[in-house]
Chains A and B, each alone.
Chain A
Amino acid sequence: MTDKKKHKVFIQGAITPTFIADSIAKHSGKTAIGAHDIFLGQVRNDLIDNKTVVAIEYSAYEEMAENLFHEIREAIFVKYDIVCMHIYHSLGLVKTGEICLFVFVSAKHRKDAFDACRDLVEQIKAMTPIWGKEIFEDDSHVWKKNN
């Protein structure tokens, strides 16, 4: 049984630890699951040209990104034997130390959970039209570059 229902990916502001804990708790009824893998992206205090990043402001081409998230999800369900997956990404301002990406994959066995989660995170980073503006203490900014 797979859970393919569509949910909204974008969350305004940081993703809270309470939200993540609640998401985990919601899976206790799904007793076919034997392994969860969770990836959390956290805003890092990068030092760029002697200035420290204090926050990232995320923006996205939301309609296109939602379509792509849907396509990526469908392909992951075909490729791996997983039970369910959830993706949440922040929009707007997220301070350093706060969570901006929450990817949650559940499977019967750990290998599928690990492999699918990693694949999912890499695809989200490479394929979805989302941009981060790194804000410094003095309110100046640079546009984030992904590795």
Chain B
Amino acid sequence: MSNASRTRDGLTRRRFVTGMGAGGLLAALPVPASASPVTTIAPGTVPAAASATWNLHVGRRRIEIDRKVLHAPCIGGNVPGPVLRWQEGDNVTLNVTNTLRDEETSIHWHGIRLPANMDGVPGLSFTGIPPGETFTYRFPVQQSGTYWYHSHSGMQEAQGLYGAIIIDPRRPDPNACVRDYVVVLSEWTDVSPMDMINNLKMQDDYYVFRQRTLASLPHEARMAGSVGAALKDRLQWSRMRMAATDISDVTGIIYTYLLNGHAPDMNWSGLFTPGERVRLRFVNAASMTFFDIRIPGLEMLVVQADGNDVEPVPVDEFRIGVAETYDVIIQPRDSRAYTIFAQSEDRTGYARGTLAPQPGMTGPIPPMDPRPVRTMVDMGMGDMKPGQDMKDMKGMDMPGMSKKDAPMDGMDMSDMDNGNMDHMDHMDHMDHMDHMDHMDHMDHMDHATPATPVMEVDDPGPPPINVENQNVARMPVDRLGSPGDGLEDNGRRVLNYRQLRATRPGTDPRPPSREIIMHLTGNMERYIWGFNGRKFSESGPIRLKLGERVRFTLINDTMMEHPIHLHGMWSELENGQGDYRPYKHTLISQPGSRLSYLVTVDVPGMWAYHCHLMLHMELGMFRTVIVA
């Protein structure tokens, strides 16, 4: 409510001129949201005022972007859907009408704390919204910040059914800026998600055209020091039947990456006046893509993560996992155009927008960085050499290994990226080894008051190597201090999870009474995903007791990042910030890593718990959580 004046300045007409045809023009048609002027303003612009009542119409609309035509499921004919602005403390009413011809729909309010029956997951919260019907979501808003919403039905989310949510805080917003934009990142393709699954089931690298080849050998040999070293590394990977170049399952070969619904050449633009502070609310609404975001020439001050304020962190770049949100503040002083550059993690494409003092300007587009290459750290082997006999490593699989105790500072990832695993010998791993020796379950001491009762631990043990799992992380390490594969030592200040410090101490000071260890597992070759070596349909639910405090520990045995999302409850990341743990709704579990977070189980009902890479979720990396 405090920033009613902001809206028009952010409006850009460019989209209507160059834009997405039907989708863009439709925004002007009188359709859905009755209580706000949302459909008449440009994407990325924050509505003038919060509203407690919204009427949202879900339908399919023919939209063409980058010569890819899709009858996209979306709200009000727009991709992304309208920015919903709410006020903390309000009871919001959201009437969602399904105008799709013959498919049901649903809207999940991602990261919003609400009663389970309002969460919008068919089967768990309600029975979905059949065609022609309206479902009314009604719940009190008890939080503030930047969030988003998306369909949880039939993979509609991958095709356009998503949008941002902004909640004004009850108390004055320390990060309020007159200039305030939403930046929704996503993908666009005319390939249906079912086709993707079908293709990946037959050939797991179907969409990867950046593999190591004879043609890339000279380059690798230069990086590794010799042809022999490069070949040796390749042999080690092929012996494991995995690919070091396996970064994203679905790539820019079919995706056009969007920024507020704009392809790179459509150039979404936001205006600013030189010298003023601009708030950018980044939402990763993609279904399969992580983005690495920077604005060359500007420092970004990260002030919020997943809707919750954090102590400002100045960075040049940050990685945003699928479903995460970050708010940053920038202060462009020069009267020139700046490029918002969001390259996909696998560097097969980028989303791009422009911030400029006047409409119609374009900033320079930087070249993309080299694509990341996976290393043995991603395989969960710490600093082991590939092919080293794992029997030597028995006893190192420590259930209690503390993530806080093993900083990654000794690790020089740049060497490993060159593809020569032998360099890893130089890494001094003794820091975490030492800890392991003294660590019988005592590692949780620093969370616990002396009176802590013995903690119950649900430890599944190392996952089996079987049809559904192809790897076990023998030495999972703490990677909270790492910005992620491909970003280490790139010469820029890149955000990492360890830097996130909440501005307020956590609301629940209790230590956890129970620890749930979950291994993230999968078989890339068969394209099966799961937890603890099992996919969803072969597993039971996770049962939590109402009122209990639980520590979730994630061990990632796969060689990919997984953004893990628990519905309905906060995930308080234990990142060494003591009581100022950042509250998150989605956490990136890095490959070969171990991390933990605390959850106060305070809302009864059935909830979803899953990897937010949509195809991973759909193929088994999903669990039902029952709170009773």
Is the pairing of A and B real? no
